Homo-oligomer: A and B are copies of this chain.
């Protein structure tokens, strides 16, 4: 009669009920704390559960209630400073509200994202926090939302998707950072994006359509902000100053080398995330380039090491933990039944000036 239990040793509700000499319904009431149960029987059931080491099977419960008390988180890489800090915000919030977190990495690959979303949906998570890959179709996300599972987008915005978004104003932050560089006298400012070459092509196009379509993505928005600042200052963009060739540190290192090999190398570099900053720093070290004397470096995200490298890095900080918290809260509200139309939270950034930027040596 206890097939699985003999193997896994898990006591079930009928086991407890039998041990306490009551029906499963009564046992369920006593354990679940609903309905009304005589105090003496309640105690008897609780004791029986204790003795048998009973643990309710959440799966069975979920089948009835339709809720799994679980949210799925789909991000490109837990090791990325932005995501790991946000993830912490998400897990802390979820946990405090009684939800569990199912995790999936995508490495910015659309195919992995699709399968992750599909798997999480099959697992009937109550909702998802997704940081969508920069390109490709969003049918899989649309389907999930259509089926009634809310999705909150992290960091990135996808047009035409009925989902809440939480992030920062990337375009503005990048514009402000670029303007600071301009105000120091820099005119040859390069960006190291940590994006794909495709992004670069789109950005370089003379019509604005490229930028507009891009503004849905983080890299695109930031690139657009960079472009805004240059345009406003009357400086023409140079395509060779756009680095976009992968997400890893090695990619950034070689990209910055390429930049410095240019006949007219940039006098300042704007790195789009802390991996890119690290890559630039490593390149500088390899070439014995002094920063900020020879080149200025300005990065996104205040990593744990940002104030301890040499020189201490000037950065645009985004409230990563708070973004995670906000995203999770929004999602839990939706799961709780909130109905209003999608909202797009934009959390404030902070500019932290340290010593990695200065006036250009030859401008």
A residues 240-287 near B (Cβ < 8 Å) are 249, 278, 281-282, 285
Decide yes or no whether A24 CB sits under 8 A from chain B.
Answer: no
Decide yes or no whether A7 CB sits under 8 A from chain B.
Answer: yes
How far apart sit A221 and B249, CA to CA, in the bound complex (Å)? 33
By the criterion CB–CB under 8 Å, are A147 and B63 in contact? no
Assembly stoichiometry (copies): 2
A residues 114-130 near B (Cβ < 8 Å) are 118-119, 121-124
- Interface flags for A224-248 (1: CB within 8 Å of B; 0: not) read 0000000000000000000000000
The size class of the interface chain A forms with chain B is 35 or more
How far apart sit A309 and B307, CA to CA, in the bound complex (Å)? 9
Chain B residues with CB under 8 Å of A318's CB are: none
Decide yes or no whether A348 CB sits under 8 A from chain B.
Answer: no
Decide yes or no whether A209 CB sits under 8 A from chain B.
Answer: no
The smallest beta-carbon distance between A131 and chain B, in angstroms, is: 15
How far apart sit A79 and B124, CA to CA, in the bound complex (Å)? 27
A60 and B57 in contact (CB under 8 A), knowing A102-B101, A281-B308, A308-B309?
no
- Interface flags for A30-60 (1: CB within 8 Å of B; 0: not) read 0000000000000000000000010111111
> What 7 additional pairs, Cβ within 8 angstroms, besides A4-B66, A59-B124, A103-B103?
A10-B124, A70-B123, A78-B78, A101-B103, A249-B304, A282-B308, A305-B305
Seen from chain A, the residues whose Cβ lies within 8 Å of a Cβ on chain B are: 4, 7-10, 53, 55-60, 62-63, 66, 68, 70, 77-79, 84-85, 87-88, 91-92, 95, 100-105, 118-119, 121-124, 143, 146-149, 249, 278, 281-282, 285, 303-305, 307-310
